[in-house]
Amino acid sequence: MINKIIEAINEGQSFLITSHVRLDGDALGSELALFLTLSDLGKKAVIYNQDDTPKNYCFLPAAQKIVHKLGDVQQYDAAFVLDCSELERVGDKAAEIAKVNKIINIDHHVSNGFFSPLRILDAQASSTGELLYRLLKQMRCNMTRDICTNLYTAILTDTGGFRYSTTHKETLWAAGNLVESGADPQWISENIYESDSPAKLKLLAKVLETLSLDLKNRVGSLVVTQNALRDTGASLEHTEGLVDIPRTIKEISISILYTQLADDYFKLSLRSKGSVNVEKIAKKFGGGGHINAAACKIKGDIDTIKFQILQAIKEI
């Protein structure tokens, strides 16, 4: 499969690159690394994202090249859909992107729906960034400082700073090689984790008031409401990382962030420790992800949704 993807790259001249809505470090780092690689190979490449780039990732090399208007998809020989388990996750333009002659999917979600025959899929991999690193190494691409910075960011963020169970020996080898080739761990970490706005800190203070411990302190949760966002001047991008806070409690096995997207409509981010499989929980509600990190969206009031989730957790 990987040889067919390399063949598609060698034969093609024009490529679209995209990823899921509500962008994270893995999606952006992978997109930008691939964009820079294709450009270095003399190819035309365009990154299209439905959502704006979160401010703490605007430092990434070539981030200013990302566009938010799709344009005519007939100009592309192939489209790379990165870090997406389903094509629909790219947003409103999924049907248009599906018209591109070749769709190449690079992903590491266990819930992947195999929407493309051309794919690199490894649910054991730490990140899409790690999979892309493997591809570029096999192609013997020029691993520039900018490419390495983006790939390191992708791996760093999707492993929770190399703390999650998906961090394997191969993950650390890849990160080490990227540092050797120019990625600066301190500079990258400062930009991502130490550049929060006052609005995020105000949101955190408000959200901590909603902390709930359930099922004998094994499940911890926080709630972000539209009112909390409005009162603190925060936006949805400021909720990134909040789901990890309850998980810092020793007894906690599952951490949940309930984020209100609209009246009676919530996005749930789930994290777990050890072998507790939150992907099974998310899947019950139409979502997906990994064993230790998953998400879904549910309609209903917060109390009803919490009850449903806790019942689903009891079942596993």
- Mean local confidence (pLDDT), 297-316: 96
Q: What tokens were used for 231?
A: 């009162």
Instruction: Please name the amino acid found at residue 84.
Output: C
Mean pLDDT (the chain) is 96
Is the predicted pLDDT of residue 1 greater than 90, yes or no?
no
- pLDDT tens digits along 139-197: 999 999 999 999 999 999 999 999 988 999 999 999 999 999 999 999 999 999 999 99
The separation between the first and the last C-alpha atoms of the chain, rounded to the nearest angstrom, is 35
pTM of this structure: 0.91
Residue with tokens 């995020």: 200
Torsion on CA atoms 27, 30, 31, 34, rounded to nearest 10: -170
Distance CA 134, CA 307 (A): 42
Higher pLDDT pick, 221 / 274: 221
Long-range contacts from 248-252, C-beta under 8 angstroms, 24+ separation: 249/213, 249/217, 249/220, 251/216, 251/217, 251/218, 252/213, 252/217, 252/218, 252/219, 252/220
Backbone angles phi, psi at 106, to 5 degrees: -120, 120
Distance CA 291, CA 121 (A): 15
- Mean local confidence (pLDDT), 24-45: 98
What is the predicted pLDDT for the residue at 266?
98
Q: For the domain 2-193, what is the CATH superfamily, name and number?
A: inorganic pyrophosphatase (n-terminal core) (3.90.1640.10)
What is the predicted pLDDT for the residue at 189?
97
Distance CA 52, CA 73 (A): 20
Q: What is the dihedral sign for C-alpha 309, 314, 315, 316?
A: positive
Residue 125: name the closest of 174, 187, 179, 183 by CA.
174
Fold of 198-315: Diaminopimelate Epimerase; Chain A, domain 1 (3.10.310)
Residue boundaries of the structural domains of the chain:
2-193, 198-315
- pLDDT tens digits along 205-244: 999 999 999 999 999 999 999 999 999 999 999 999 999 9
Burial (0-12, 13-18, 19+ Cβ within 10 Å), 312: middle
- pLDDT tens digits along 97-148: 999 999 999 999 988 889 999 999 999 999 999 999 999 999 999 999 999 9
CA 242 to chain centre: 15
Percent share of the chain, pLDDT over 90: 95
Burial (0-12, 13-18, 19+ Cβ within 10 Å), 297: middle
- pLDDT tens digits along 254-263: 999 999 999 9
Q: What tokens were used for 38?
A: 């294709």
- Mean local confidence (pLDDT), 265-290: 94
Q: What tokens were used for 206?
A: 């408000």
